[in-house]
């Protein structure tokens, strides 16, 4: 967010957009929505709420019945739809790869339509396959059916990015892959976005995915009605109304674990023991550290098991005491994933690994529980939420120095805005804002109850 100079994305504004089919109730009704440049905005909501329709109206796969679509200040409602779509990346479930074309040809489709020369297309294709962690030498000439679901999905993302579009539309892209692959793809998307700063609009029915990937979340109800537009933190901490609460489901606190990463919490440091080293020396190190157990690392510094002092005393050189292995989580995983890994392994701790699987530390269930306490007390930053409502009022564009366009409700629209506040956001403004104010006035010393004493506790463990 702070690197606005690096933003390559474009601001999108849907202006009072309606889509109706025949005489039935409109699928999307009078929707005005700003999507800020360079940010990931998640559309979530129950099926049939109009979130996919809204997405497809941005690239005009579905033509809006009325209203305007403005991308970076340019009205695109009347331009040639094919030209528009070549400027917008589009990813669908299972990648939507053309089965009769090779992976390379699939990725090169849009550049080819834009009449790039062959050499440039080839270079760009290889570059993109690299970006999504597929070796071009191996995968360029394969056909989609020779790839796994996760790999196909990655090629789908690479294809969407081929002509370097400022906007990427993703329609439930990770819906059809298994949970483990989905987790990996989500993490890769986070990395890709950290590098590219595109404007991403992402439709999902999975609220957890929205929390994990989104800078902003729009919660839709039937007819494309926006129930709440805010950051994941805001929505989890202050759901606007009952619908949003129901949609988040139980365990909002637990879901906030999806917001915190393993690298953000304090890890424990256990003494490390190398495979094959002298057992007595290792046992001494454990004694010095007052630790009962240590982590066994292989020659690449990857954690492979736990070992206790008692075990070490029975050995001459360090070998693995059992083949159980050790649950590991990446340091950029969410606490949610970390907890899941530990529960699945039936262990109260897991080793944390960094780049190339190198050992970084140990995370325990206690650390996670402390983090939950911390999170529910953590203050939610005041941020100005982008425009999003269904009242028909149209915001005014302002262009910042770096060329990023933002929208605001005009001053003379104050009355309409008030109306809007009293209708859509009533509950948030009356009850929650009250709570929120009470809460922010809390004494900060009381506020950190969950943190300090416990950290001291773990400090003594580490000592």
Partner 1 sequence: MGSYLSDRWEQILSASWQHFSLVAQCLILATVIAIAIAAFCYQNKTLSGIANSVSAVGLTIPSFALIGLMIAPLGFGVAPAVTVVTFYCLLPILRNALVGLSGVDRSLVEAARGIGMSRVATFFRVELPLAWPVILAGMRVSAQMTMGVAAVSAYVLGPGLGSFIFSGLSRLGGANSFESVVTGVVAVVVIALILDGLLVLLGRLTTSRGIRV
User: Footprint of partner 1 on this chain (CB under 8 A)?
Assistant: 59, 61, 82-87, 89-90, 92-94, 96-102, 109-110, 113, 143-145, 159-160, 169
CA max distance for the chain? 83
Secondary structure letter of residue 110 according to DSSP: H
Question: Which structure tokens are listed for 224?
Answer: 């494309």
Q: Is the dihedral of CA 440, 441, 442, 444 positive or negative?
A: positive
In the bound complex, what is the minimum distance in angstroms from residue 37's beta carbon to partner 1? 21
Residue 462 class from Cβ within 10 Å (0-12 exposed, 13-18 middle, 19+ buried)? middle
Contacting residues for 461 by C-beta, under 8 A, at least 6 apart: 268
CB nearer partner 1, residue 95 or residue 386: 95
CB nearer partner 1, residue 124 or residue 293: 124
Q: Is the dihedral of CA 270, 273, 279, 282 positive or negative?
A: negative
Q: Which residue, chain included where needed, has tokens 């929205």?
A: 210
Reported as type and span, the H/E element at residue 455 is: helix 452-462
In the bound complex, what is the minimum distance in angstroms from residue 100's beta carbon to partner 1? 4
Question: Which structure tokens are listed for 192?
Answer: 């890709």
- Whether the Cβ atoms of residue 31 and residue 226 lie closer than 8 Å to each other: yes
Strand order in the sheet with 303-308: 272-274, 293-297, 303-308
Give the DSSP letter string of 81-109: HHHHHHTEEEEEGGGG--TTS-HHHHHTH
In the bound complex, what is the minimum distance in angstroms from residue 121's beta carbon to partner 1? 14
Residue among 299, 300, 295 at smallest CA distance from 271: 295
3-state SS assignment for residue 420: helix
- Whether the Cβ atoms of residue 219 and residue 44 lie closer than 8 Å to each other: yes
- Whether the Cβ atoms of residue 93 and residue 175 lie closer than 8 Å to each other: yes
187-196 in b/e form (b: 16+ CB < 10 A) is bbbeebbeeb
Residue among 327, 268, 267, 319 at smallest CA distance from 296: 319
113-127 in b/e form (b: 16+ CB < 10 A) is eeebeeeebbebbbe
CB nearer partner 1, residue 99 or residue 444: 99
Helices 452-462 & 365-377 angle (0-180, nearest 10) = 160
In the bound complex, what is the minimum distance in angstroms from residue 209's beta carbon to partner 1? 20
- Whether the Cβ atoms of residue 270 and residue 286 lie closer than 8 Å to each other: no
In the bound complex, what is the minimum distance in angstroms from residue 101's beta carbon to partner 1? 7
CB nearer partner 1, residue 111 or residue 230: 111
CA angle in degrees (0–180, nearest 5) for 39-41-42: 150
């Amino acid at each position: 967010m702070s690197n606005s100079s690096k933003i390559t994305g474009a601001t999108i504004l849907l202006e009072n957009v309606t889509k109706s089919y025949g005489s039935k109730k409109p699928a999307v009704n009078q929707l005005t929505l700003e999507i800020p440049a360079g940010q990931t905005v998640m559309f979530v909501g129950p099926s049939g709420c109009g979130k996919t329709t809204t997405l497809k109206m941005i690239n005009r796969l579905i033509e809006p019945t009325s209203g305007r679509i403005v991308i970076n200040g340019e009205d695109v409602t009347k331009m040639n739809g094919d030209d528009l779509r070549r400027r917008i990346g589009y990813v669908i479930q299972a990648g939507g790869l053309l089965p009769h074309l090779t992976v390379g040809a699939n990725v090169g489709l849009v550049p080819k339509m834009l009449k790039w020369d062959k050499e440039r297309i080839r270079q760009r294709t290889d570059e993109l396959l690299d970006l999504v962690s597929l070796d071009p030498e191996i995968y360029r000439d394969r056909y989609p059916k020779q790839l796994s679901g996760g790999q196909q999905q990655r090629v789908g993302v690479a294809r969407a990015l081929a002509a370097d579009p400022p906007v990427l539309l993703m329609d439930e892209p990770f819906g059809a892959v298994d949970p483990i692959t989905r987790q990996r793809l989500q993490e890769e998307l986070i990395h890709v976005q950290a590098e590219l700063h595109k404007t991403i609009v992402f439709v999902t029915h999975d609220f957890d995915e929205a929390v994990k990937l989104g800078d902003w979340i729009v919660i839709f109800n039937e007819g494309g009605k926006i129930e709440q537009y805010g950051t994941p933190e805001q929505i989890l901490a202050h759901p606007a109304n009952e619908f949003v609460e129901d949609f988040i489901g139980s365990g909002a606190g637990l879901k906030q674990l999806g917001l915190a990463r393993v690298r953000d919490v304090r890890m424990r440091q256990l003494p490390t023991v190398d495979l094959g080293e002298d057992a007595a020396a290792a046992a001494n190190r454990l004694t010095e550290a007052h630790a009962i157990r240590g982590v066994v690392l292989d020659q690449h510094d990857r954690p492979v098991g736990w070992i206790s002092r008692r075990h070490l005393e029975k050995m001459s050189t360090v070998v693995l005491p059992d083949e159980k292995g050790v649950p590991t989580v990446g340091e950029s995983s969410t606490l949610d994933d970390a907890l899941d890994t530990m529960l699945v392994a039936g262990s109260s701790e897991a080793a944390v690994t960094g780049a190339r699987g190198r050992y970084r530390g140990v995370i325990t269930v206690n650390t996670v529980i402390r983090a939950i306490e911390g999170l529910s007390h953590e203050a939610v930053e005041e941020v100005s939420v982008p425009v999003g409502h269904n009242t028909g009022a149209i915001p005014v564009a302002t262009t910042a120095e770096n060329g990023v366009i933002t929208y605001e409700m005009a001053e003379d629209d104050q009355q309409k805005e008030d109306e809007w506040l009293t209708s859509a956001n009533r509950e948030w403004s009356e009850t929650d804002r009250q709570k929120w104010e009470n809460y922010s006035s809390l004494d900060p010393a009381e506020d950190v109850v969950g943190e300090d004493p416990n950290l001291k506790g773990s400090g003594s463990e580490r000592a």
